Amino acid sequence: MFAIVDIETCGSSFAFQKGRIIDICILIHDGIQVIDKFSTLINPDCYISGFFTNISGITNEMVKGAPRFHEVAKEILAYTEGKLFVAHNSSFDYNFIKAEFASLGFTFRRDTLCTVRLSRKLMPGKKSYSLGNLCTELGIENKARHRAEGDAVATAELLDILLSIKAQSQQYKSTNLDAIMTTRIDNIKKYILKKLPEDCGVYYFQNKNDDIIYIGKSINMYSRAISHFNSDIKKSKAMLNDTYNVDYVVTGSELIALLLEAEEIKTHKPLYNRQRKADVFTHCIDTFVNEKGIHCFAIVPTDESENKLLAFTNYTSAREKLESWIDEHSLCTSYCGLTSEGSICFNHQIKKCLGICSDKETVEQYNARVRSILKEYRYTHPDFIVLDNGRQPNEKSFIYIQNHRYVGYGYLDESTQICSPEDIQSNLTSKKYYPDADDIIRAWIKQKKRQVLVLK
Ligand SMILES: [Zn+2]
């Protein structure tokens, strides 16, 4: 049984105070013919603007005495219950009605059939699938175009034609309507979900030519893939439209997944990943101790960096970061490379620098504040490993930091004892160095409150 529905509205989407349903018609179709009808104007309790009156011909005057949506809600439920909700461009009508019900605190849920999509399948190659154009081409008379009942009756006649085309089609006559409406995306979804495991790792969506178009990571790749398909974001839909295959690497460890994802995005630069993970780090904030024993900072080009604290993809972000430290920790611009050393900095004149530049505070007092910054952006130890889950139960993973830098990761048998770098060397996969890897590791250790294993 079909419930063929059409609505007229005074807004392009539901809004309680200004975009409501003003006209609805539901025709009950038993597969052969229309057997029942529900049709009424609805008082939207809001103003119908001239724009929408021009579309439907429905004026504020006409709906004045009509029932409110909540007064006909019960009938709408009864008429559509247990039937396939059919409409021309069904998502508009369905979502609008769903939103009206939601505003009453009720969840409206029906299976839907869109006659635009069904027409595209059964009558391919038309230049327009608007109801008006299809009616003209198929000789369907619409006595009240853009009124709910007129359009619903026309949609019912269109459905009759579509059902008879289906019955005569070699390709579709023994296929049910559901299967006809199944799109390529539905099929690729099934395929991807079948392939991806419920494991932690990195996955790659590929297009027709096997190019990688998206890289993602998750502690449960299967669930993450489902959320891609449930997304309403336009870009996600475009991505899935382009997706033909999926590949993945199980990492077991969330930290390795994060590191691998960041690295792979830089290597493959997939079309649908935001390119925020830029791979050219042009400037660094270096740290050093000067001849007076003062902890200093300086912004330097990456190739001149000798003791990097942080790396940046441009000078401006390095400068912004350094200035935020100067502000928050009352540092002296002279010892941050922004004013020449030996002069009293401007910040001291406006009382923002506590006066290391004019001997108003001791080196020790000043250094203590710098050390609190260093602590935040440096590993506590120069050489250590972080242990995490492996890819299977009897395995563990490690990531290796050598001389304050991320070197790579690997997997070991669960029982392996690790005391020195030699113990992991043969299992280590070395990785190209990107400074943001250290940010990822530091943030992860902090967030998970993870203990590290210091190597001597
Ligand atoms: Zn100063």
What would the two tokens of residue 325 be? 């430290």
| Helix (H) / strand (E) containing 85 | strand 84-87
If you measure from the C-alpha of residue 293 to the centroid of ligand 1, how many angstroms do you get, rounded to a whole number? 15
Q: How far is the CA of 344 from the centre of ligand 1 (A)?
A: 6
Write out the DSSP string of 220-264.
SHHHHHHHHHH---HHHHHHHHH--EEEEEE-S-HHHHHHHHHHH
**Radius of gyration in angstroms for the set of CA atoms belonging to the chain, rounded to a whole number:** 33
Q: Is 146 a catalytic residue?
A: yes
SS3 312: strand
Q: Which of 70, 146, 268, 404 is catalytic?
A: 146
What's residue 450's pLDDT? Answer: 85
Q: How distant, in Å, are the alpha carbons of 20, 384, 401, 446 from that of 381?
A: 63, 7, 9, 14
Determine the Cα–Cα distance for residues 99 and 260; give it in Å rounded to an integer: 42
pLDDT of residue 148: 96
The DSSP code for 71 is: H
| Structure confidence at residue 179 (pLDDT) | 78
The residue assigned the tokens 């994802």 is 261
If you measure from the C-alpha of residue 352 to the centroid of ligand 1, how many angstroms do you get, rounded to a whole number? 8
- How far does the centroid of ligand 1 lie from the alpha carbon of residue 355, in Å? 5
What are the Cα distances from residue 296, in Å, to 44, 281, 293?
Answer: 68, 21, 9
pTM: 0.63
Please list the pLDDT of the chain residue by residue as tens digits (456 residues).
999 999 999 999 999 889 999 999 999 999 899 999 999 999 999 999 999 999 999 999 999 999 999 999 999 999 999 999 999 999 999 999 999 999 999 989 898 999 999 999 899 999 999 999 999 999 999 988 899 999 999 999 999 999 999 999 888 888 888 777 777 788 888 899 899 999 999 999 999 999 999 999 999 999 999 999 888 788 888 898 899 999 999 999 999 999 999 999 989 999 998 765 566 889 999 999 999 999 999 999 988 988 889 989 899 999 999 999 999 999 999 999 988 766 778 888 788 899 898 889 999 999 999 999 998 888 888 899 999 999 999 999 999 999 888 999 999 999 999 888 888 999 999 998 888 899 899 989 989 888 889 986
Ligand 1 center to 326 CA (angstroms): 10
Per-residue model confidence (pLDDT) at position 229? 87
Give the chain's domains with CATH numbers: 2-181 (3.30.420.10), 184-268 (3.40.1440.10), 283-377 (no CATH), 384-454 (no CATH)
DSSP letters for 316-328:
HHHHHHHHHHHHH
Task: Sort 171 into a burial class: Cβ within 10 Å, 0-12 / 13-18 / 19+.
Answer: exposed
Compute, in angstroms, the gap from residue 450 CA to the centroid of ligand 1: 38
Output the pLDDT for position 278. Answer: 62
Question: Residue 345 burial by CB count (10 A; 0-12/13-18/19+): exposed, middle or buried?
Answer: buried
Residue 407 tokens, joined: 């070197």
Cα of 237 from ligand 1 centre, angstroms: 54
Q: What is the end-to-end Cα distance of the chain in Å, rounded? A: 75
How far out from the chain centre does Cα 224 lie? 10
CA–CA separation, 104 vs 14, rounded Å? 13
Q: What pLDDT is recorded for position 187?
A: 83
The alpha carbon of 323 and the centre of ligand 1 are apart by a number of angstroms equal to 13
Q: What is the model's pLDDT at position 275?
A: 61
CA of 347 to the centre of ligand 1 (A): 6
Q: Distance from the CA of 343 to the center of ligand 1, in angstroms?
A: 8
Given a contact cutoff of 8 angstroms between Cβ atoms, the answer to whether 130 and 146 are in contact is: no
Q: What is the pLDDT of residue 277?
A: 53
